[in-house]
Amino acid sequence: MGDRNRSGVRVLKRRGKKILVIDFRFRDKNGREQRCRQDALVQTSAGARAEAERLMRFAAEHGTLNPEPLVPTFETFVGGQFTELVMPTFRPSTQERYSRLLFHEGIVEALAKKRLDDIETPEYRALHASVVARHVDPRPHLSMLRTVMREAYELGVIKAMPRFPPLPPKQRKLPTAPPLAVVRALLNGSTGWLRTAIALAYFTSERSGEVRATRVMDVDFDASIAFARKAFSADVVLTPKNGDERAVPMAEPLRAILTEAAKGKKPTACLVVDEQGKTPDRKRVYRAFIALQKRLGISPTWSFHKLRHAFGTHLVQLGANIEAVREMMGHADLAMTSRYLHATSGDKVRAIGLLAGNYGATE
């Protein structure tokens, strides 16, 4: 191309007309020499030189003339495609939890201006360290980051999924449960909708969302069976968490409480409603349950969900068939239900007593 073409522009004659052609060589990403040769978009000397300068600079920086799609920042992707396309696929309660993790617990703030394809192990470790510094379990935050990046990969926004370090070990806590004496005190000390909610949770193992969604028509008083058919997820009524309805035979104490709660209500009405006929939300149930325990002097206080744990724990300790317990609790497999087989300190003392008795027995 010679010294006359340092600008990257050449003049050619084509069918008797002068044509400005951009013509220069560059090194690609692999170090191989490549050539750019194309008609200038603007057929003026100034326009052609400006275009050639832009192309030569881009080729020198990127080793190619094919501009790659612009990868969005973490903040842009989460606020755009993730919120619009991915979030609606989750249950409303999961959407609430994900939004809280992303926007209120520091994930978006920490990675806001980072391009998705620049998020690698250093960013992962930095997020891990920042969460641990707040004395918070980092696993939900790191799992949330993985979810966002996986969705970005599946949507074609990034070309490869980052190779993050493994998640921290999950804290495997055995399900704790309030003793029977505490459950009795809770039922005897409560009234109205809260007493109905406590009874449903303990005697049928229903979760808070299922308790609040239980209708009069979900209780078969003739067959003495209570069904878990619907559940609140945030403010939306959906199927239960496992997707299937559950049937639990009614214990006599529950029958009496539900009979009273169903009086004067239509079949489609919810059993757990306040004085205004409204179903309390999850936070109101939790606050009322904690307030009840403080009024009764119960310490430590238990979460409402622990009543479901009490159902499983007490049944297993009483020798109930574990498969029957699994079905009534709606567990997918026995491994989940087997957690309720954990030994209490009393169990251990009795076990050692058996060993000592056996040792002292005469042959």
Nearest Cα neighbor of 70 from 119, 118, 115, 120 is: 115
Q: Which residue has the higher pLDDT, 214 or 356?
A: 214
Pairing of strands 219-220, 231-233: unpaired
Q: Distance (Å, rounded) from C-alpha 87 to C-alpha 13?
A: 58
Q: Distance (Å, rounded) from C-alpha 82 to C-alpha 87?
A: 6
Q: Distance (Å, rounded) from C-alpha 257 to C-alpha 254?
A: 5
Across the range 279-305, mean pLDDT stands at: 95
Q: Which pLDDT tens digit goes with each residue over 178-216?
A: 999 999 999 999 999 999 999 999 999 999 999 999 999
Q: Which residue has the higher pLDDT, 143 or 354?
A: 143
pLDDT at res. 238: 83
Q: Distance (Å, rounded) from C-alpha 216 to C-alpha 228?
A: 11
Across the range 281-304, mean pLDDT stands at: 95
Q: Which residue has the higher pLDDT, 242 or 31?
A: 31
pLDDT at res. 345: 57
Res. 344: pLDDT tops 60: no
Res. 5: pLDDT tops 90: no
Going by pLDDT thresholds of 50, 70 and 90, the confidence category of residue 331 is: confident
Most confident of 244-248, 255-259, 348-352: 255-259
Q: Are 23 and 15 in contact (CB under 8 A)?
A: no
Nearest Cα neighbor of 260 from 200, 204, 334, 207 is: 200
Span of 3-7, 99-103, 145-149, 198-202 with lowest mean pLDDT: 3-7
Nearest Cα neighbor of 205 from 238, 254, 243, 252 is: 254
Q: Are 209 and 233 in contact (CB under 8 A)?
A: yes
3-state SS, residue 248 = strand
Across the range 239-263, mean pLDDT stands at: 89
Three-point CA angle 225, 282, 206, nearest 5°: 20
DSSP string, 331-356: -SSHHHHGGGGPPPHHHHHHHHHHHH
Q: Which pLDDT tens digit goes with each residue over 62-91?
A: 888 887 667 899 999 999 999 999 999 998
253 CB neighbour count, 10 Å cutoff: 13
Across the range 344-360, mean pLDDT stands at: 67
Say whether pTM exceeds 0.75: no
pLDDT at res. 109: 94
pLDDT at res. 32: 92
Burial class (CB in 10 A: 0-12, 13-18, 19+), 359: exposed
